[in-house]
Amino acid sequence: MKSYTLITGASTGFGKALAIECAQKKMNLILVSLPNSGLVELGSFLKSNFKINVLTFEIDLSTKENCHLLYNEVKKSKGSVKYLINNAGVLSNGLFENLSEDYFLTQIDVNITAPTLLTKLFIDDFKTNSPSGILNVSSMASFFHLPKKQVYSGTKAYLLSFSKSLRKELKKYGIWVSIVCPGGMNTTTGLCLQNRKLGWASRQSILNPEDAARETLKKFFKQKELIIPGTINKLFMFLDSVLPTSIKNKLTNRAI
């Protein structure tokens, strides 16, 4: 069996940047995203340019059945997962009263259920490949209570809490769990446009996914528990710990 790094949501944005960074480190990859998103082409490109093994699976991870399907397909391909990067996520920026039921239920399935279930399904792989690791992609939104990001922030806060507890449980097997909480990143076109309209201070904190991925993987392999990419974002976290709530509320409302 070959050992792999499995990255969900690898077709674009932060997941794609993580995949390229891993490929440069000569890590074999299992890449997953929704169908018809250019994943197969990305896989072929990484395979031929970096001389690594790459398996691609176009699977919708919003159902329990499909998470099991992914696990079974990996086993059929004789793959074993050493590192799991739970990156796939459904973003949102809208008032709760305007979100459709289908939208936020899928968001909960992709952002919470899929990473939890995939972690459980591959747990024997992590034990076999120890030292091994799990990187869960949360968000700085997990620390703040932001209007227009209510369900999204809630899903990311779950991931933060789940990861910190699991890290304590799995340490004895030589498996570490890290959590990355990026601030804003210029990934989708929508986000790029939105980020341009931010105030000066918030704009300075926006990262390119490539820079965020480089810093994240460096710290992941140092087995850090919590990774906050970018100097300004670390400063925001420090200010969050010292400023009174009334001032923080004013600042976050203005930034949104």
Ligand X SMILES: NC(=O)c1ccc[n+]([C@@H]2O[C@H](COP(=O)([O-])OP(=O)(O)OC[C@H]3O[C@@H](n4cnc5c(N)ncnc54)[C@H](OP(=O)(O)O)[C@@H]3O)[C@@H](O)[C@H]2O)c1
**Spatial separation of the C-alpha atoms in residues 7 and 51, rounded to whole Å:** 18
Is position 205 an interface residue for ligand X (rule: CB under 6 A)? no
The verdict on 62 binding ligand X (CB under 6 A) reads yes
Identify whether 115 is preceded by a cis peptide bond (ω within 30 of 0): no
If the CB atoms of residues 88 and 129 are measured against ligand X, the closer one turns out to be 88
User: Does 9 contact ligand X by CB under 6 A?
Assistant: yes
Residues binding ligand X: what is the number (CB under 6 A)? 28
For residue 165, report the phi and psi dihedrals to the nearest 5 degrees: -70, -45
Nearest distance, CB of residue 89 and ligand X, angstroms: 2
Tokens of 206: 């926006």
CB 15 within 8 A of CB 9: yes
216 is a contact residue toward ligand X (CB under 6 A): no
The overall longest dimension of the chain from CA atoms, in Å, is 55
CB of 16 to ligand X, least distance (A): 7
Residue 14 in the binding site for ligand X (CB under 6 A): yes
Residue 244 tokens, joined: 């009174």
- Site residues for ligand X, 102-131, by CB under 6 A, read 110
* Residue 130 C-beta: closest distance to ligand X, Å: 26
**Any contact of residue 89 with ligand X (CB under 6 A)?**
yes
Among the listed residues 90, 112, 198, 235, the single contact to ligand X using CB under 6 A = 90
164-192 residues labelled b (16+ CB within 10 A) or e (exposed): eebbeebeeeebbbbbbbbbbbbbeeebe
User: Nearest-CA neighbor of 52 among 19, 16, 85?
Assistant: 19
Stretch that binds ligand X, among 48-56, 163-171, 184-192, 197-205 (CB under 6 A): 184-192
Interface residue with ligand X among 23, 30, 88, 170 (CB under 6 A) is 88
Smallest distance, ligand X to C-beta of residue 249, A: 21
CB 177 within 8 A of CB 167: yes
Question: Would you count residue 24 as binding ligand X (CB under 6 A)?
Answer: no
Residues 223 and 133 sit within 8 Å (Cβ to Cβ):
yes
User: Which residues contribute to the site for ligand X (CB under 6 A)?
Assistant: 8-15, 33-34, 37, 60-62, 87-91, 110, 137, 139, 182, 184-185, 187-188, 191
